[in-house]
Amino acid sequence: MKINWSFLGFIVLSSFVVFLFGFSKQRNEARNLSKIVVSFEDKTPPFITLDSVNKLLIQNFETVTSIPKEAVDLKEVEQRLLENKMIHRAEVFITVDGILGANIKQRTPIARVVEKQDYYLDTEGERMPLSGVYTARVPIVTGAVTKHAKQITDLLLQINQDQMIKSSVVALDVFQDGTLEMRIRKQDFTVLFGTTKNAALKFQNYKAFYQKIKQDSMLTGYKTVDLRFGNQVVATKK
* Per-residue model confidence as pLDDT tens digits over 132-185: 999 999 999 999 999 999 999 999 999 999 999 999 999 999 999 999 999 999
128 and 186: one domain? yes
Give the span between the Cα atoms of 74 and 77, in whole angstroms.
Answer: 5
Residue 25 falls within a domain, yes or no? no
Return the percentage of the chain with pLDDT > 70, whole number.
87
54 and 120: one domain? no
100 and 137: one domain? no
Query: What is the average pLDDT across 107-126?
Result: 95
Q: What is the pLDDT of residue 11?
A: 52
Could you say which of 106, 121, 153 is where a domain stops?
A: 106
Give the span between the Cα atoms of 32 and 142, in whole angstroms.
Answer: 51
Query: What is the average pLDDT across 176-196?
Result: 94
Give the span between the Cα atoms of 202 and 196, in whole angstroms.
Answer: 9
Residue 116 falls within a domain, yes or no? yes
Q: What is the pLDDT of residue 37?
A: 92
Q: Of the given ranges (49-58, 141-150, 213-222), which has the lowest mean pLDDT?
A: 213-222
Q: How many alpha carbons lie under 13 Å from residue 130 in its C-beta half-sphere?
A: 12
CATH number of the domain within which 50 lies: 3.10.20.310
Residue 86 falls within a domain, yes or no? yes
Range of the domain at 44: 32-106
Model confidence, pTM? 0.80
75 and 125: one domain? no
Q: SS3 sequence, 16-75? A: HHHHHHHHHHHHHHHCECCEEEEEECCCCCCCCCHHHHHHHHHCCCCCHHHCEHHHCCHH
Give the span between the Cα atoms of 44 and 135, in whole angstroms.
Answer: 10
Give the span between the Cα atoms of 43 and 130, in whole angstroms.
Answer: 18
100 and 218: one domain? no
Q: What is the pLDDT of residue 8?
A: 45
Give the span between the Cα atoms of 187 and 177, in whole angstroms.
Answer: 26
Question: In which region does residue 94 sit, left (phi positive, over 0), alpha (psi from -120 to 50) or beta (all else)?
Answer: beta
| 3 state SS of 102 | strand
Query: What is the average pLDDT across 61-90?
Result: 88
154 and 219: one domain? yes
Could you say which of 106, 140, 164 is where a domain stops?
A: 106
Q: How many Å separate Cα 109 from the centre of its chain?
A: 6
β-bridge mates for residue 106, sequence order: 87
Residue-wise pLDDT for 21-42, tens only, equals 443 444 444 578 888 999 998 8
Please say whether the beta carbons of 156 and 190 come within 8 A: no
Give the span between the Cα atoms of 99 and 149, in whole angstroms.
Answer: 42
Q: What is the mean pLDDT of the chain?
A: 85
Q: What is the pLDDT of residue 16?
A: 42
Most confident listed range (35-39, 64-68, 109-113, 209-213) = 109-113
Q: What are phi and psi of 58, to 5 degrees?
A: -95, -20
90 and 46: one domain? yes
Order of all β-strands in the sheet with 99-106: 35-40, 99-106, 87-94
Most confident listed range (22-31, 53-62, 192-201) = 192-201
176 and 158: one domain? yes
